[in-house]
Structure 1
């Protein structure tokens, strides 16, 4: 006899696999499959799985990890950088939709609390449905596509204040001003607490964990940090999701963001799937014959109202009518966060069961209709503006350039070869992003203003996070053959239009790597033999003066570049020649009180070291003027022997105590 809990798990897994496969074949979001599974096997239909409490607890963790990953993608500097969009179009869309729909619901006889929740649920849009449909139509880089996705992503952030406010509506009796003010005060306190913890504890913690090179320990630490932050806000009487969002936002400012997101994604997806199953269990199919017409009318009203409202907001901001219409059509769909807010409202008894059924069905119907609605956005625009509208915007103009990285080079491995590649790319002004698994090297390179991030390049999620699918080239500069195979398999399986260059020590794996999809394989032994052959030909007086001049010019600088490396805490595979006696790069941050602060750059006595670059406020200057006066927070990138670097650092920070010098040597990543 199979225990009931085990049987319930098996039933959910069987139905979920079938539903997700079917929905993906129809190119529909997997979340709809989970919702349908919950409705089918739940207590209101086949009753194969009762609506038991422990599944609700696990589902709440799904919301926690969802908000955690949202926070990772919206660090505080990023939100401030996007303030025109965030506090302009995004705020207007969410606030006005909530207000107008809420007033409409109130006029229909609902209580103010219920009307507010309905407005908040309707204001959300599905980023998953929108982005998937736009990519399929080839409109993801059009102006209306980028506007729609950016505004829908901002709605994910607005879920955070809603998560704070909605529980207060269920607890308050009479005036809600005092409870709401107290809840907002506690939310501000939680933000300050998590912010300070992120600044002083999280970055050193993850540096220490990453240095152990244990995937298991890294995963445990991510889980611990997210759940501790959730527990802190819960202890303050707030939602667990709020703490998870704040922790994710703090970690989003670190160089570990991509690896953390990749680590947490499988756990988040499973728990989030369970959350959608529990939401589906709330759907009472027995009342569908009685309520379907109300739900369908609500879905149509939602699509039309949101499309019209977004049109006026975007058009008022100066966007042309056709683009405004298409953006409105894209954002009209309901969203997954609406289900999350609906679940919170039900748990706090803000919504009656019959009202929740209608709202739940309406949002579900809108998500089912949305792909067809979005597909014909150009046709809607053509009719409304009375003129032809292209399916895409064609050649993008400068003001429409996408905010994400495109046409860049991804360097997998920032060791000896990766650093030299980055140097030449920087000299040619070719954008690049580098990945490396050595936290000390990443820390130094980041402090020196280089776009280097901690992450395992053999993981598909990490490659997607750094835009490998939109890059012009991927360079595998390490000599880990197994990792190189995985990268090539990801590129081929995903059909990314990107070239891949692979470095190997010899020619043995050449055929295999080319078969896996490598564009070019560079073997070190072959390149060494070519260089020797060039010398032999020159010494044999072969008349190749032009080639000879170029070879001699390259030799004049090449060997110095080969030793300009950021130091690593321990030897890394492929960098065995990086011993303690070699010259290297070292980044020194000038903290307040350092003797060098206030001095003119040209007056510094660096001994045998040379200044390679200066980083100020995130801007990297390769050739800073000698008359530049140094400020606290500047980072000097020095090149020299280990002893020379130590002496130069002591001279620069001479007035600091030894413990302060150690703290000053911890480099900060670029904001």
Structure 2
């Protein structure tokens, strides 16, 4: 029996492990390891892989899982909030890239139809790589992450009309307009079906599955919904990846989205590796080596051209310089859907074999550069922002930025106030508390959707990047008493803290973080207090534990203060508190408070006083209070009577309480 596919999988995984281990030592991203694995093991390398088509199928499953998880994390509400960015940002980026590339390609000697088709190819970015890196870095919901996702969504949508337009471009059909109208109707109907499934059908199905308490059934159901939606979109002429993204959006509207993500992640990680390997397998090493200088020159030109157009698109949308640059460094590469489109172009004679190999080489170089550019995007953005510019250019940029913060001019009397960076859940709650406490505050937010939400609530909010000195000046950061940074982007948070400290040393900066690794870095940058979400949850839980052990509130508060003042070192330290710690010792007695009902018929204590019942002398139990009907008797005397159906609040050891409870349940006939 032959197992060619199994043999290919073993080769891919084994070679990937060896290469990535070396790359990890050199601090090179794992994506580069998978690309190199494909180049080495592919048909143009050592030809170790026989089932090339089968590996490509596995790679498509990886893209499906990746887009599915992104859809779960994004939600329909999140997509709705950036619909304008999807349309206008995507249109500007794709349209600008097609136009500019077509002009350049025509000047290089390509025919008009070939030049336009080359513009199609270069306009598409890598959804798989960008979204994976954004997710790993926790930047999906950051300003540049949301814009990048919006542009990628538009690209995934526009690739379908591009594929339909390709035959018309080559002169093989004259019914493209009719086909496009039919496709538009299909997309509209599909979106309507997605909304109905998200609101009614899927939540009901998942509820039934969850009530069965079968983990296997839950996983099968989630994967089945993912594949079914992807298959449905493919059957109506849309891409599998787009269908998977919409499937994730459907799941995101249920209460079980987090568990679905946890179950899908292992599948995603293993299958997405096959995608990057399959990309590497396409490269012809011989052609690459023969034309290495020209390929790198063209790759640099393509990266610069596409990044510049993306930056211009984000600038037109009205975002600040940091967001502009970081978005450009995210979507500058050529993506996987361009490979699918290039195959269609070769079929209709729009791209010759030599041009196709140039395109593949440029695409792989741009993909390989993406992890490095995104990892250092924050530093590069800071450098470019500080770079010397002609006076007229800087003045125009300054005027443009100031126009975005004119609303802050009305707050010139702000002093001793609170500045809240980010109007997410945490920022919103801080604003509510500040309003209740009548503390003056101002909110800085970049997300247009959240800006509208804040303004509907009559919040004191401005649009802007908190790492920009113009924005900080307009919120009078030098007069602020407290700054709360409640955003999820680690690099942006560090930049904000650093920039604030350039204006003021007195403002008390509180930073919220998800990750423990960021605590020390934020403190070094100048934060006064870093609040890790998971540690605060642990403290709240243990506070309730201590209260159940009757530890006095002042000792509990002292314990909590010690943990926080030591930057949570006790919780981060494997051994917990050191032996020389100055924290109070917890002397927790073997004592508890319990409630015992007197409702088992006439027994020895009913009708007797607390003293006569012998609860103290015989059982070592102290009665703290008695509930009789709807009334509470809290002033307990030895003469206080115990009656039928009383509820006794007693204090004593667990063993004695258990004995008394057993005694009260005995019925004397």
Instruction: Please confirm whether the aligned pair reaches a TM-score higher than 0.5, indicating the same fold.
Output: yes
SS of equivalent to 2:221 = helix
1:10 positional shift: 1.5
Q: Is the 8 A contact 2:325 2:381 kept in 1?
A: yes
Q: Distance in 2 between matches of 1:400 and 1:19?
A: 45
Alignment-derived partner of residue 449 in structure 2:
none
Alignment-derived partner of residue 64 in structure 2:
64
Q: Is the 8 A contact 1:127 1:149 kept in 2?
A: no
Given the alignment of the two structures, is residue 340 of structure 1 paired with residue 337 of structure 2, yes or no?
yes
Q: Distance in 2 between matches of 1:266 and 1:276?
A: 16
Matches of residues 506-655 of structure 1 in structure 2 within 5 Å?
516=574
Given the alignment of the two structures, is residue 10 of structure 1 paired with residue 6 of structure 2, yes or no?
no
Q: Is the 8 A contact 2:142 2:489 kept in 1?
A: no
1:223 positional shift: 0.7
Q: Is the 8 A contact 1:148 1:330 kept in 2?
A: no
Q: CA-to-partner distance for each residue in 1:313-332, whole Å, 9 max, x for gaps?
A: 34444556x54773475346
Q: Distance in 1 between matches of 2:11 and 2:488?
A: 38
Q: CA-to-partner distance for each residue in 1:564-586, whole Å, 9 max, x for gaps?
A: xxxxxxxxxxxxxxxxxxxxxxx
Q: Distance in 2 between matches of 1:425 and 1:218?
A: 42
Q: CA-to-partner distance for each residue in 1:426-468, whole Å, 9 max, x for gaps?
A: 9999xxxxxxxxxxxxxxxxxxxxxxxxxxxxxxxxxxxx979
Change (3 A) 1:300 1:467: closer
Q: Is the 8 A contact 2:71 2:252 kept in 1?
A: yes
C-alpha RMSD of the superposition: 5.1
Greater Cα offset, 75-84 or 44-53: 75-84
Alignment-derived partner of residue 225 in structure 2:
225
User: Please, which runs of 5 or more residues in structure 1 have no aligned partner?
Assistant: 410-422, 430-465, 473-489, 533-555, 557-671
Q: Distance in 1 between matches of 2:35 and 2:79?
A: 32
Q: Is the 8 A contact 1:120 1:162 kept in 2?
A: no
Change (3 A) 1:469 1:297: closer
Given the alignment of the two structures, is residue 379 of structure 1 paired with residue 367 of structure 2, yes or no?
no
SS of equivalent to 2:185 = helix
1:405 positional shift: 5.0
Alignment-derived partner of residue 124 in structure 1:
125
Q: Distance in 2 between matches of 1:118 and 1:16?
A: 33
The size of the alignment, in residue pairs, is: 453
Q: Is the 8 A contact 2:56 2:275 kept in 1?
A: yes
1:491 positional shift: 6.5
Alignment-derived partner of residue 95 in structure 1:
95
Q: Is the 8 A contact 2:62 2:268 kept in 1?
A: yes
SS of equivalent to 1:298 = helix
Q: Is the 8 A contact 2:342 2:356 kept in 1?
A: no
SS of equivalent to 1:287 = helix
Q: Distance in 1 between matches of 2:435 and 2:575?
A: 27
Change (3 A) 1:205 1:130: closer
Alignment-derived partner of residue 654 in structure 1:
none
Change (3 A) 1:106 1:59: farther
Change (3 A) 1:318 1:126: same
Q: CA-to-partner distance for each residue in 1:212-245, whole Å, 9 max, x for gaps?
A: 2332222111110011112222333433223222
Q: CA-to-partner distance for each residue in 1:597-652, whole Å, 9 max, x for gaps?
A: xxxxxxxxxxxxxxxxxxxxxxxxxxxxxxxxxxxxxxxxxxxxxxxxxxxxxxxx
Q: Is the 8 A contact 2:35 2:280 kept in 1?
A: yes
Calculate the TM-score normalised by the size of structure 2: 0.56
Q: Is the 8 A contact 2:70 2:131 kept in 1?
A: no
Q: Is the 8 A contact 2:87 2:154 kept in 1?
A: no
Which residue, out of 154, 164, 167, partners 1:168? 164
Matches of residues 316-331 of structure 1 in structure 2 within 5 Å?
316-318=316-318, 323=322, 326-327=325-326, 330-331=329-330
Alignment-derived partner of residue 589 in structure 1:
none
Change (3 A) 1:519 1:359: farther
Calculate the TM-score normalised by the size of structure 1: 0.56
SS of equivalent to 2:209 = helix
User: Please, which runs of 5 or more residues in structure 2 have no aligned partner?
Assistant: 395-400, 409-417, 439-486, 494-513, 521-529, 550-558, 560-568, 595-631, 633-669
Larger CA Rg, structure 1 vs 2: 2
Q: Is the 8 A contact 1:162 1:341 kept in 2?
A: no
Change (3 A) 1:294 1:331: same
Given the alignment of the two structures, is residue 30 of structure 1 paired with residue 17 of structure 2, yes or no?
no
Q: Is the 8 A contact 1:118 1:359 kept in 2?
A: no
Q: Distance in 2 between matches of 1:91 and 1:519?
A: 57
1:64 positional shift: 2.0
Q: Is the 8 A contact 1:230 1:243 kept in 2?
A: yes
Matches of residues 241-390 of structure 1 in structure 2 within 5 Å?
241-318=241-318, 323=322, 326-327=325-326, 330-331=329-330, 333-334=332-333, 338-346=335-343, 349=347, 351-369=351-369, 371=372, 374=377, 375-383=379-387, 385=389
